[in-house]
Amino acid sequence: MTRIDDTFARLQSEGRRAFVAYVMAGDPDFETSKEIVRGLPGAGVDIIELGLPFTDPMADGATIQLAGQRALKGGQTLDRTLEIARHLRETDTTTPIVMMGYYNPIHSRGVETFLEQAKAAGIDGLIVVDLPPEEDEELCIPAQKAGLNFIRLATPTTDDARLPRVLQNTSGFVYYVSITGITGAAEAQAEAVAPEVARIKAETDLPVIVGFGVKTPETAKNIAAIADGTVVGSAIVNEIAQGKPVEEVLAFVKTLADGAHSA
């Protein structure tokens, strides 16, 4: 059992949906990023997605691309991203942290070394968007052997023939991408997402969390109501991009969390 498994078991026993928040590590700067991440659990976040900045983020829209550029310009590295996780673990040993990003920085570090360092820093799971199931031996299976969940994305184009392959080695939860395209591109619609969530849940006992296109407390509530929870990323990153104080960013996050938890 990982922290992710424990969190979903607790939420299920409480009859609540999960709220997952994405932030880019090192945005707008290293120290502020540490402060934001440390404040997320108190703002109602059940699982933290910590973005690992990368120079070519092909799945991300402009908001998160720019966040990654700000972070990299400020000197954010893989080591500094792990340091943000360690900083949270000084005060919080229960909130799961999922590192989300691309394979290149992990490959450059070396899979075995990276997994040892990630586990030691308190990372609980990985979402690596450019490693398909055909590459499971590369990172997915080693990660799970090391005790980290490997979370896979399913999308509107993941048909019935492809879905079992996507689910085969997934653990922790399934991340359903509610729209076709990049992050922040459109608003998720619960009536369109519901049949897809049901289709996935018919094939797995894992929780299904819906992300991409969730920008408001109302949408968070509507999407969480038809899934096991929801993810908000670009809307939070946009608050950070506007230079708002940490307390204002966290207050905004709380409105989203309250929306998801009211489902």
| Interior angle at CA 190, CA 40 and CA 99, nearest 5 | 35
CA atoms within 13 A on the CB side of 28: 11
Write down the pLDDT at residue 180: 62
Assigned domain for 263 exists: no
The neighbouring-strand residues paired with 101 are 128
Write down the pLDDT at residue 58: 82
Q: Which two tokens stand for residue 13?
A: 């026993």
Q: Which two tokens stand for residue 233?
A: 């990323």
Give CA–CA dist 243/223, Å, rounded: 28
Residue 154 dihedral angles phi and psi, to the nearest 5°: -115, 150
pLDDT tens sequence for the chain (263 residues): 899 999 999 999 999 999 999 999 999 999 999 999 999 999 999 999 999 999 988 878 899 999 999 999 999 999 999 999 999 999 999 999 999 999 999 999 999 999 999 999 999 999 999 999 999 999 999 999 999 999 999 999 999 999 999 999 999 999 999 876 555 556 778 898 999 999 999 999 999 999 988 999 999 999 999 999 999 999 999 999 999 999 999 999 999 999 999 99
Assigned domain for 190 exists: yes
Give CA–CA dist 123/48, Å, rounded: 10
Write down the pLDDT at residue 186: 61
Compute the chain's Rg from CA coordinates: 17
Give CA–CA dist 149/229, Å, rounded: 17
Give CA–CA dist 245/239, Å, rounded: 9
Helix axes 78-89, 111-121, angle to 10 degrees: 30
Write the DSSP assignment of 88-123 as a string of letters: HHTT-SSS-EEEEE-HHHHHHH-HHHHHHHHHHHT-
Write down the pLDDT at residue 185: 53
Give pTM, 2 decimals. 0.96
Q: Which two tokens stand for residue 9?
A: 């078991």
Assigned domain for 223 exists: yes
Q: Which residue in the list 27, 46, 60, 196 is annotated as catalytic? A: 60
CATH value at residue 79: 3.20.20.70
Q: Which residue in the list 5, 27, 46, 49 is annotated as catalytic? A: 49
Assigned domain for 198 exists: yes
Residue 48 dihedral angles phi and psi, to the nearest 5°: -100, 125
Instruction: Quote the number of domains for the chain.
Output: 1
Assigned domain for 262 exists: no
Write down the pLDDT at residue 190: 86
232: containing domain: 3-257
Q: Is 60 a catalytic residue?
A: yes
Assigned domain for 119 exists: yes
Give CA–CA dist 189/111, Å, rounded: 38
Give CA–CA dist 241/186, Å, rounded: 19
Give CA–CA dist 88/92, Å, rounded: 6
Assigned domain for 12 exists: yes
Task: Count the Cβ atoms, other than its own, within 10 Å of residue 156.
Answer: 14
Nearest to 204 by CA among 235, 227, 236: 227
Write down the pLDDT at residue 184: 52
Q: Is 203 a catalytic residue?
A: no
